[in-house]
Structure 1
Amino acid sequence: MTTQSKGSENKGTAQLTAAMVLSGTLGVFVVESGASPFNVVFFRVLFGALALGGYVVARGWLRDHGFTPRTLGLAVLGGVFIVFNWVLLFQSYENTSISVATVVYHTQPFYVVLLGALLFRERLTLAKVGWIAVAFAGLILVSGVTPGDFASGGTYLTGVGQALLAALLYGLSTLVTKRVTGVRPHLVALVQVLVGIPLLLPFTDFAAMRGTGADWGWLVGLGVIHTGLMYVLMYAAYAQLPTAKIAVLAFVYPAVAMVMDWLVYGHHIGLVQALGVPLIVAASLKVTLAKPSREVTAQVTPSAPAPAAPQPR
């Protein structure tokens, strides 16, 4: 590796680490805003669209954007999945905890693999099936759900289900977005947040936002920091990093989220639940990196979409 390429990779590592650390603070911003999940997501996409739109315009990327009717339709569909994925994840924070919801949600890579095999006949090897089974064994441990919970129901079980459904929607969005080619990923992201504005408008309770006061800062932060800045950092990093490093650094996000949940709210997962975390981490890395041994740098160019790595949560 040349000095220049090494410097580029180090810069990408710093950018992606910063993005994942910021992502790990998202749950605190959601909870501290005091708004309902639908209101939170509406104002996140509103402020996020302003931030991303400003960046895209400043870079001059609206000219020769590369969208066709087909790719624009796919970007819009991916946006529908992403927006409701956020709503479900934020509802899961309320019903479980940031820690549990985040780790359960991090089963997204396995949904991508399973949905790819089911919908697009992508190859599903026996090894991947085995690692997916390991991951879901870890999921059972992390969730802390017992047979009695299924009998009694309750908000905790509902919250776990919401995190799983959010991961499923994320997986669908990833599969759809992977098929958008010839367009800068920043423009795809901008379309996805713009879609959320009219989509969530009927569900947004503006009356409940009266008297929000200083808590507006948390909502603005979700749009500007956790949507605008986060995307810019991640996409800049993807262009400079090998896939293996992207996969490993993705786990900074749940680690930071768990630490923040403990520091701010005193929530932490129990010993038995903690045993499931390394199972999910190991299985995720094995599935994500189950590719030819030759390492390929994940290029982000106008002719290629961003790799399927975690988006801002």
Structure 2
Amino acid sequence: MSTDTRPANPETKGAIELTLAMVLSGTLGVFVIESGASPFNVVFFRCLFGTATLGLYCLARGFFKNHGFTPKKLGLAALGGVFIVFNWAFLFESYEDTSISVATVVYHTQPFYVMLLGAVLFRDKLTAAKFGWLGVAFVGLILVAGVSAADLTGSGDSAYLAGLGYALLAAVFYGISTVITKRVTGVRPHLVALVQLVLGIFLLLPFTQLGEMKGLGGDWGWLVGLGVIHTCVMYVLMYSAYQKLPTPKIAVLAFVYPAVAMLMDWAVYGHSVSLLQALGIPLIVAASLGINLGWSFAGRRAPVAPVEEPAPAAGAVAASRTEIKTGGTR
């Protein structure tokens, strides 16, 4: 009897790794809410436990040798980390004011802010197709937001409207971090993420109310999980997968994250989107894929200029290889 000892297809392994990472990312909202801590406290302890575990991983793998950092690269990584850390805080606040489902879908408008920032700051070309997909995404965003006339006139749920604003602000901060961190080349993404986690500890300490953590009891497990599972383990899986997968497969698998997030929101909290909101979700998904894969409305793929593959910021989960290599985190 013979046994096939050939190594597994790297692309298949990468697809499994990225799928697992996206599934873990989809459970993030539950861990945040179940911890019972305020958004800034959650981010602080995510950075704290994430630093400990990811730091040990980097040490065990020897990543600190020939790290590739220069003062400029370190400064850019840190600057990107400022926006990533507050991106987390605003996203977690949005979970509480809206729902995990709505906040996650609204947050997935990130690629469009990256595109617009690239055009403004670096004069990246905006084609007619990109403007078209931006319009599609905007329509989808309006539907998903589910904002009524009462909300806009002040007689509706002001907290819900604020939550939508937090999700949009988190997405904008993600975009800014992406644009900054894409300049950090020649450095392992794990180390870029570690720099940003360490920065987050000191950056958020003034905003953290440690007195609230007394009597947290078993809920500490949720915070530890955010640092160990949703930071160290998830990042390692994603960074490994990115090296093995082509852009189209990454773009598609990235949407496992919002799908799982919506499923968890329904299963744990009984939250579901309305029919009108559900109509907006495929519009945002299609627009994101269209932007990242260079789709045109004529049915032909637009040419995409070759780009370098710089290191991502802390745990990027964008919908293309380029943005995944340069973006933020969940």
TM range (shorter): over 0.9
* Superposition pairs of residues 282-293 of structure 1, within 5 angstroms: 282-290=286-294
TM-score by length of 1: 0.94
2:228 corresponds to which of 224, 230, 235: 224
Which residue number corresponds to residue 184 of structure 1? 188
CA contact (8 A) 1:231 1:311 kept: no
Residue 257, structure 1, aligned to residue 258, structure 2: no
Structure 1 residue 73 displacement after superposition:
0.5
8 A Cα contact 1:242 1:298, kept in partner: no
Q: Which residue pairs with 2:323 in the alignment?
A: 308
TM superposition shift of 1:126: 1.1
Identity among equivalent pairs (%): 67
Once the two structures are superposed, residues 83-140 of structure 1 have per-residue CA deviations (whole angstroms, 9 ceiling, x without a partner) of 0000000000010000000000000011100110011111111110110110010000
Q: Does 1:117 align with 2:123?
A: no
Alpha carbons 2:294, 2:304 under 8 Å: kept: no
Q: In the aligned structure 2, how far is the partner of 1:189 from the partner of 1:276?
A: 32
Is residue 300 of structure 2 the alignment partner of residue 272 of structure 1? no
Task: Give ranges in structure 2 of 5+ residues lacking alignment.
Answer: 1-5, 296-300, 313-321
Amino acid at match of 1:94: E
Q: For 2:243 and 2:216, how far apart are their aligned partners in 1?
A: 39
> Which 10-residue stretch deviates more, 224-233 or 151-160?
151-160
Distance 2:144 2:85 in 1: 25
Query: How far does residue 146 in structure 1 lie from its aligned partner after superposition?
Result: 2.0
The one of 13, 17, 20 equivalent to 1:18 is: 20
- CA deviations over 1:2-42 (Å, ceiling 9, x no partner): xx897100000000000000000000000000000000000
Contact 1:104 1:142 in 2 (8 A): yes
**Runs of at least 4 residues off by over 4 Å:** 291-300
The equivalent residue for 2:86 is 84
Q: Structure 1 regions of 5+ residues with no counterpart?
A: none
Letter paired with 1:236: S
Shift of 1:204: 0.4
- Normalised by the size of structure 2, how large is the TM-score? 0.89
Corresponding residue of 1:209: 213
CA distance in 2, matches of 1:53, 1:200: 19
- Alignment length (residue pairs): 308
1:308 is matched by which residue type in structure 2? E
> Secondary structure in 2 aligned to 1:308?
helix
Q: Distance in 2 between matches of 1:137 and 1:143?
A: 10
Q: d(CA) in 1 for partners of 2:29 and 2:82?
A: 21
Query: What residue in structure 1 maps to residue 9 of structure 2?
Result: 7
**Residue of structure 2 aligned with 1:42, choices 41, 44, 52:** 44
Matched residues in 1 for 2:228 and 2:306: separation?
28
Which amino acid counterpart does residue 279 of structure 2 have in structure 1? L
Q: Is the Cα contact below 8 Å between 2:178 and 2:328 reproduced in 1?
A: no
